[in-house]
Amino acid sequence: MLLTILGLPPAFLLLSFITILCALYVVTNTNPVYSVLALILAFFSISAHYVLLNAQFLAVVNLIVYAGAIMVLFLFVLMLLNLNKESEPIVKMGWHIGAAVTAGLLLVTLAAALHKSSEQIMRNPAEDIGLVKNLGKVLFTDYLVPFELSGILFLAAMVGAVLLGKKQTNSKENNNYSETSSQ
Amino acid sequence: MTSLLILFLGAIVVLYYGINKPEGKSLLMTVILLLAALSSLVYDLLTVKNRNVLGWLTEYVPENMLIWNFNSIAFSIVLVLAFLLVLGLFSRNNYIGADLLGLMLFSVCGGMLMTSFSNLIMLFLGIECLSIPLYVLAGSKKSDLASNESAVKYFLMGAFSTAIFLMGCAFLYGGTGSLELESISRATSMITHLGIKSNLIFSGIILLMAGMLFKISAFPFHFWSPDVYDGSPNRTTVFMATVVKIAAFAAFYRLFNEGLGDVKNWWGVTLAVSAGATILFGNIAAIRQSSFKRMLAYSSVAHAGYMLMAILALPQNGFWALLVYLIAYTSSAVSVFYLLDRTSGENSNFSFDNFNGLGKQSKWLSLILIVSMFSMAGIPMTAGFAGKYGLFSSIITSYPWLLYAALIGSAISIAYYFRVFKHAFFSEDGTLVAWKIGTMEWIFLALSLTITLLVGCWPAVITLCK
């Protein structure tokens, strides 16, 4: 009965329920590895949302990039850092309460502002824009320049990663280092 | 577009050339590149058809989601000039190899996307392209723990603010049906004329504002900036204080004053409160600092508060006031950071005591210190006064209470700007070691001094290009 009152498709409600449950598990669980696994599940259900919105490309990319690559990276970092109870930084209770109140206020404000705004949404005329074919067409015609310019972004990120990862060989910089570290 | 391509392709060449010899001729190449980009921009400015700063009322022709009208070209010129000043003054004492130069050039490319965007996608790409090299530059002094801390802090805060910004973009897209700045402007003004209150657009604007306030380090979102400015190497701090600030303010101005100017009654008061709080907080916190670098970081927060006034002003006043203030702040901040960099020598202690005995050492450096500090405090005959005069007069009718806050803030700021004079000129125990100043440094110091005094004595020189 509830489902018909809300006027939302049952699939959407089920998926949202799973997503929120997983997200809560991520936040409340004390074991980081379980948190990451729950996060992967949350990403899967978000991908299912994309499928419901007819955005198949986004759904697949979300799975490959987030659930695939980034989460594996997360797990590796967690295992390398070897997190446990003892190494956990102690955060005062006041910070927890403050953060919860602030985030809750933002949630309440946004929910109050937006709960009846679905009629204000401008409908996109092309409903099947999320299909791979249409998206590709738009990406290589209308959005060609931003697409190319994102190349600068990735190049910059790569150069930055190399710069941070490489060994320091420059003598001038090393001199500065030894003097700063000797203080 | 030509200047953007010059900088981007040039950055790749600089990186490729510096694979084996990072310190070879890459600096010279970068300076030539910047001069080429600058001349291309000046050519664009002279040949631009539409010389009206009110771009929306007249012709508006975006090209590939970028627009090169009078406003954006003027901001881009200031951006490139600021980078040139930074390079000229900081390349001798600091290590700036091809890798760092390449990253800085990528960052400037992002800055130019931000000054000339006409689509929110471009703005987002510009912000990311500006920030990602900066996270690396902030942590580029790898063995220094403070530098590492500032890089991580800046990265986390930057990623968080970008997420908020993107959420604002999404709401605005939902409410107006477009990401194009002109369509957003038209849709929002139509909605206000019809008297409809669209919560979707309103929430989007507030989230966008929060994201932008993060980037310029204004009051509720300023907390990261003192730590990041303090911990980063000097070359990065000055880059953040000048180049990044110019790009962020140009984007903020173009997004809010040009794009969303018709719905100013929705966001005006929020932004005005933030500006007033930024000015008061920045100035009061700066007094309490014992480190000169941290003082400059808080003063840059305060300057961001003054510049927010330009976004609240009417477009014809706001644009010129912001341009003059950006030039004034950049030219004086670069010289002050240069003096800070050289007086602290090799160590990472930036207290006021480093300046002890500067007056005895060199009268030209003393003159530069005095003029820059006067300009930052807003004493007449310097560029800072011209900038503050323009900003204050542009909001005097609409937000008089903000003007009072700004005047109180300026009065407070004199206390800490002039504190360094006590150390430089009246302190007996001078431990300052004289350093050798190269020809290039003299040229750029003289350039920044000339800009500060020229704009201060004759502010109309900026509007000549019209």
In this structure, are residues B297 and B225 in contact, taking their beta carbons and an 8 Å threshold?
yes
- pLDDT-based confidence at B462, cuts 50/70/90? confident
Question: May I ask the CATH architecture of the domain A2-126?
Answer: Up-down Bundle (1.20)
User: How many Cα atoms sit within 13 Å of A21 on the Cβ side?
Assistant: 9
CA distance B364 to B168: 49
Per-residue pLDDT at B47? 80
Given an 8 Å threshold on Cβ–Cβ distance, is B132 in contact with A156?
yes
User: Does residue B197 or residue B339 have the better pLDDT?
Assistant: B339
What is the pLDDT averaged over residues B53-81?
77
The Cα B94–Cα B346 span in angstroms is 10
pLDDT at B364 over 50: yes
**To the nearest whole angstrom, how far is the Cα of B454 from the nearest Cα of chain A?**
37
The reply to whether residue A152 touches residue B8, judged by beta carbons under 8 angstroms, is yes
CB-based contacts of B381, cutoff 8 Å, min separation 6 = B374, B453, B456, B457
- Tell me how far apart the alpha carbons of residues A137 and B310 are, in angstroms, rounded to a whole number: 41
- CB contact under 8 Å between A159 and B99, yes or no, is yes
pLDDT at B371: 92
At A76 the three-state DSSP class reads: helix
Task: Tell me the backbone φ, ψ of residue B180, rounded to 5 degrees.
Answer: -75, 135
B54 residue type, one letter: L
What is the residue range of B183's domain?
2-465
pLDDT at residue B26, rounded to an integer = 78
Average the pLDDT over B219-247 and give the result.
90
Sequence ranges of the domains in chain A: 2-126, 143-183
The HSE-up count of residue B162 (CA atoms within 13 Å, CB side) is 17
Asked if B108 contacts B243 with a C-beta cutoff of 8 angstroms, the reply is: yes
Q: Which residues of chain A have pLDDT under 50?
A: 1, 171-183
- Integer Cα distance of B174 and B168 in angstroms: 10
How close A162 gets to chain B, by Cα (Å)? 9
Cα torsion angle, B102, B104, B107, B113, sign: negative
How many residues are there in chain B?
466
Distance of CA B303 to the CA centre of its chain: 10
pLDDT of residue B23: 65
Q: Which residue in B has a C-alpha nearest to residue A180's C-alpha? A: B347
Interface check B348 vs A, CB under 8 A: yes
Distance of residue A17 Cα from the nearest chain B Cα, in angstroms? 22
Contacts of B385 (CB under 8 A, 6+ apart): B375, B378, B379, B456
- pLDDT for position B85: 92
Residue in chain B nearest A163 by alpha carbon: B99
Q: What is the mean pLDDT of chain B?
A: 86
Q: Give the span between the Cα atoms of B297 and B291, in whole angstroms.
A: 10
Q: Does B12 touch chain A (CB under 8 A)?
A: yes
Contact at CB, B106 and A159, closer than 8 angstroms = yes
Q: How many percent of chain B have pLDDT more than 90? A: 37
Provide the pLDDT for residue A171.
45
Instruction: Round to whole Å and give the CA distance between B327 and A62.
Output: 44
How many angstroms separate the CA atoms of B133 and B107, rounded?
6
- SS3 state of residue B413: helix
Q: Which residue of B167, B176, B203 to mutate against A (max A Cβ within 10 Å)? A: B203
Per residue in B297-338, pLDDT tens? 999 999 999 999 999 988 878 888 999 999 999 999 999 998
Residue A177 CA to residue B95 CA, distance in Å, equals 12
Q: Would the pLDDT of B219 be above 70?
A: yes
Whether A120 and B66 lie within 8 Å, measured CB to CB = no
Contact by Cβ (8 Å): B313, B275? no
Chain A interface includes B149 (CB < 8 A): no
pLDDT of residue A174: 44
Counted domains in chain B:
1
pLDDT tens-digit readout, B100-154: 888 999 999 999 999 999 899 999 999 999 999 999 999 888 888 888 899 999 9
Q: Give per-residue pLDDT as tens, B6-28.
A: 998 888 888 888 777 766 677 88
Average pLDDT over residues B352-370: 82
Tell me phi and psi for residue B68, to 5 degrees.
-115, 75
Whether residue B79 is predicted with pLDDT greater than 90 in this model: the reply is yes
- What residue type is assigned to position B338 of the chain? Y
DSSP one-letter string for B87-133? HHHHTTTS---HHHHHHHHHHHHHHHHHHTB-BHHHHHHHHHHHHHH
Please, which pLDDT band fits residue B31 given cuts at 50, 70 and 90? confident
Are the C-beta atoms of B323 and B76 separated by less than 8 Å?
no
* Chain A contact for B220 (CB, 8 A cutoff): no
Contacts of B106 in chain A (CB under 8 A): 152, 155-156, 159
Residues pairing with A14 in the sheet: none
What residue of B is the nearest CA neighbor of A122? B177
Are the CB atoms for B200 and A121 separated by under 8 Å? yes
Q: Residue A175's pLDDT is what?
A: 43
Complex confidence, ipTM = 0.83
pLDDT exceeds cutoff 90 at B45? no
CA distances in angstroms from A123 to A55, A135, B120, listed in the order given: 15, 17, 19
Preferred mutation among A123, A153, A170, A173 to probe B, highest tally of B CBs within 10 A: A153
CB contact under 8 A, A153 and B15: no
- Digit-coded pLDDT (tens) for B244-287: 999 999 999 999 988 888 888 888 899 999 999 999 999 999 98
Question: Stretch B158-176: mean pLDDT, rounded?
Answer: 90
Interchain proximity B143–A177, CB inside 8 Å? yes
